[in-house]
Amino acid sequence: MADIIKVGMADMNCVYPPNTLVTLGLGSCVGVCLYDRETKVSGMVHVMLPYSHQIKNNSNLAKFADTGISKLLNDMIVMGAKKSRIISKVAGGAQMFNFNDSSDIMRIGARNVQAVKETLKNLNIPLISEDTGGSYGRTIEFYSETGMLLVKTIGYGTKWI
Amino acid sequence: MAISINDLNSEQIDVLKEIGNIGAGNAITALSKMVSKRIDMNVPKVNIVEFKEVAELVGGPEKIVSGIYFNVSGDISGSIMFLMDNNSSRTLINWLMSKNETSMEFDEIEVSALKEIGNILAGSYLSSISTLTGLKMTVSIPSLAIDMAGAIMSVPVILFGQVGDHVLLIETDFIEGLNRVKGNFFLIPDEKSFEILLKSLGVI
């Protein structure tokens, strides 16, 4: 019987198969899923902000793309995953509100996605697929048995990536 | 040292509550005039909540809600967001347009009406802050999103998240007869403005 493990905002979790990781209502935040294809150890982190060094209050590692992904990777290695086998899938990073004079702060979704991609690249983790950007929210479910990520939206359909 | 929302003392919280109160009072008066109905309200609840709880407070992260968002600039800068569930949005639109609709789909004119209501409510809150503090500020045109609560909430939560792990939430119920609109109002001054705001209110 597979358990469904919820990952909240600025939160992370790792599971063994056949369990599923879920994040509800991703907006400008980014859901990063890491997956070891052999052991099927799966992890998900719900990133809110790009880089920890840009913010003073940075004790919560899961809040940032750089520290969140590194911590998740380490936790998965402790659970038996091997770094060389780990791949990634990414969803979220929407711009929920549109303004003509889009300031940096309003483009936070795009900045989060960029920071996630840079961090993955630095860690040499291949990005297999993504569903990012747009102006709508997403609920994501990551299935450790298959390594597939289900992306659900309101009014923009459902897809597997 | 910038002030974080977690560090507020009870006097500062009381002052922010009072702003919520006066702002909601002004908003109700404006709304009553606009829809030509007598609208009452409950005493607003001002809460400082951990950002993880916020989506739960409005019915869960997947619940469909309307969020109306404004940028604020001037002596203090930041953002304002007005959030309500779609039942409340429908009630407000019905009040404004003298309709009796129940559909949860909003057409273009209704969306525009909703933005206008948001404009008036936000303007009322801001002008009460202006009057109390002597600070000048202007508000941008509204931007509206109808989507999952978690997704919409991510925007103010991220803005707050750069200063701390808590948000300042003012809940106000607008009541007309049997109809009730539950509005959640987020005041999001940026890091420096929060200090300016508290200073001008004499609580720092």
Distance CA B127, CA B113 (A): 21
Instruction: Report domain extents, chain B.
Output: 5-200
Catalytic: which of A7, A21, A26, A29?
A29
Closest Cβ–Cβ partner in A26, A63, A108 for B151: A26
Percentage of chain A exceeding pLDDT 70: 94
Closest Cβ–Cβ partner in B2, B158, B164 for A28: B158
Active site residue A29: yes
Give the pLDDT band (50/70/90) at residue B32: confident
Distance CA A148, CA A88 (A): 11
Give the pLDDT band (50/70/90) at residue B1: very low
How many helices (H) and strands (E) in chain B?
6, 8
- Residue-wise pLDDT for A126-136, tens only, equals 999 999 999 89
Position A152 scores a pLDDT of: 94
> The complex's ipTM?
0.84
- Residue-wise pLDDT for B144-180, tens only, equals 899 998 898 888 778 766 666 666 788 888 888 888 8
Position A4 scores a pLDDT of: 93
Q: How many CB atoms lie within 10 A of CB B59?
A: 13
Which backbone phi and psi does B62 adopt, to 5 degrees? -100, 0
Strand A158-160, strand A148-152: pairing = antiparallel
A48/B154 touch (CB, cutoff 8 Å), yes or no: yes
**What's the average model confidence in pLDDT over B19-41?**
82
Size of interface A-B (CB pairs under 8 A): 99
Give the pLDDT band (50/70/90) at residue A148: very high
- Residue-wise pLDDT for B75-105, tens only, equals 888 888 888 888 888 988 888 888 888 888 8
Residue A122 is encoded by which pair of tokens? 């630095």
B198 vs A64, higher pLDDT: A64
Domains of chain A: 4-160 (3.30.1330.200)
Mean pLDDT of chain A: 90
Which stretches of A94-138 are DSSP H helices?
A: 108-122
CATH of the structural domain B5-200, one choice from 1.10.1040.50, 3.40.980.10, 3.40.1550.10, 3.30.470.20? 3.40.1550.10
Mean pLDDT of chain B: 82
